[in-house]
Amino acid sequence: MPTIPYWRLSSFYLCYFALLGATAPFLALYFDHLGFAPARIGELVAIPMLMRCVAPNLWGWLGDRSGQRLLIVRLGALCTLVSFSLIFFGHSYAWLALVMALHAFFWHAVLPQFEVITLAHLHGQTARYSQVRLWGSIGFIVSVVGLGRLFEWLSLDIYPLALVAIMGGIVLASLWVPNAQPVEHGQRPGAEGFVRQLRAPGVLAFYACVALMQLSHGPYYTFLSLHLEHLGYDRGAIGLLWALGVVAEVLMFLVMSRLFARVSIQAVLLVSFALASVRWLLLGTLADVPAVLILAQLMHAATFGCFHAASIAFVQSSFGPRQQGQGQALYAALSGIGGALGALYAGYAWSLLGATFTFAVASLAALAAALITAFALSASRSLSR
C-alpha cells in the first residue's frame, strides 16, 4: 500500500485550524473592541458563514469537474490572504462586511477540497482520518492559547496582523502537500449521480441535522468569549477554556477509529446532538460556576469531535469519487447556513433577551437534530454501518 504523506497533510490541518482558533474565540471580541453593537457583531460574524452556503458548492463542482483540487486549495489559500489584507484599509461596518465576504469566499473553497485530497491519500483507510485531522485541533489549541496570552499583554489592535501571519502559514503548507485523486473501487454509492444519491434514505435528513447542529453553535462561536468576559473571566483564561474543549476533541479523535469499530455512525451522531443540547443549557445558565464551565467545555469532545468525524465518515461512504467534492461541499454549505442563522439570531437575541434565552434556543435546535437522528435515519446504509 502506498505511503501516506502524514506530516504534509497534518501540517496543513495545523495551519488551517490555527486560523479558526484565531477567529472563533476572538473575532467577536475584536469587533467589540472596534465599538460595534451585539447585533452588528452577529451580522459581521454571520457573513463568512453565509459564504459557506455558496462558495463550497461552486468550488466543489469545479473541483469534481476539473480534478484540479490541489490547485483550488492553493489559489484559495493565497486569495484568502490577499483579500483579508484589505482590512488594513478601513474599519467601517460596510468595509468590514466586504472584507468578511470576500476572504470567506476563497477560504471556504479550501477545506472541502482538501478533505477529498486527504481521503484519497488514505487509500480507503478512513479510520486514519481522525489521526491526521487531530493536528488541526492542535493548531487550534496553540492559536487560541497563544493569542489569548498575546492579547492580554498587547492590544487587540494587532489582531489583523496575527490573522495575516496564520494565513501566510496556510499558503506555505498548501505548497508542501502532494496531489491525490479519489479512485473508483468497484461500484460505489453515488456512482449513479449526485442528485440521485441525495435522495437515498437518510441522506437529506442527515444534512438537515448538520444545519441544525451548526445553528445551535451560533451563540457559542459568536458570543462565548464576550459572555465569559462579562462574567469576569480574563482573556488568558478564556483562551485556555477554548483550548480545553479542543484538547478533549483531540483525545476523542485519537479513539474514533476504535469507536467506529464498535458503534454505528447513527449512534455517534445521536449522542453528539443530545450532549450538545445539554451543553448549551449549561453555558447559558451556569457558566459563572468554573466547574460547570469546565464540564461544558469537555463536552466539545462529543459536540464537535464525534460529530465531525461521524459526518466525514458518512459523506465519504455515501458518495462516489466523482461526487466526493460536492458531498463535502454540501456538508460545508449547510454548516454555513446553520452557522449563519445561528450567529444572526444570537446577535439579535443576545441584547434583547439575554444569554440564557439565546443558549436555550440553541439547545432546542440540537435536541431537534437528536430526534431526527433517532427516528428518521435508521434506513440509511451509511449511518448504520
Q: How far apart are CA 31 and CA 46, in angstroms?
A: 13
The pLDDT of residue 188 is 47
Q: How far apart are CA 53 and CA 329, in angstroms?
A: 9
Rounded to 5 degrees, φ, ψ at 49 are: -70, -40
Most confident of 37-51, 98-112, 188-202, 360-374: 360-374
- Per-residue pLDDT, averaged over 360-372, amounts to 96
Domain of residue 312: give its range.
Answer: 6-384
135: Cα separation from own chain's centroid: 14
Sorting pLDDT into bands at 50, 70 and 90, what band is 284? very high
Counted domains in the chain: 1
Cβ atoms of 362 and 218 closer than 8 Å: yes
Cβ atoms of 315 and 194 closer than 8 Å: no
Residue 272 in grid coordinates: 453528539
Q: How far apart are CA 127 and CA 253, in angstroms?
A: 10
Q: Is residue 202 part of a domain?
A: yes
Give the CATH number of the domain where residue 72 resides: 1.20.1250.20
Sorting pLDDT into bands at 50, 70 and 90, what band is 365? very high
Q: Is residue 1 part of a domain?
A: no
Residue 211 in grid coordinates: 444545519
Note the pLDDT tens digit of each residue in 165-222. 999 999 999 999 888 876 654 444 444 566 666 666 678 888 899 999 999 999 998 8
The pLDDT of residue 187 is 46
The model's pTM: 0.76
The pLDDT of residue 275 is 97
Residue 329 has pLDDT above 90, yes or no: no
The pLDDT of residue 200 is 66
Note the pLDDT tens digit of each residue in 120-179. 888 766 667 778 888 988 898 899 889 988 988 888 999 999 999 999 999 999 999 888
Q: Is residue 20 part of a domain?
A: yes
Provide the residue type at 35 as one letter. G
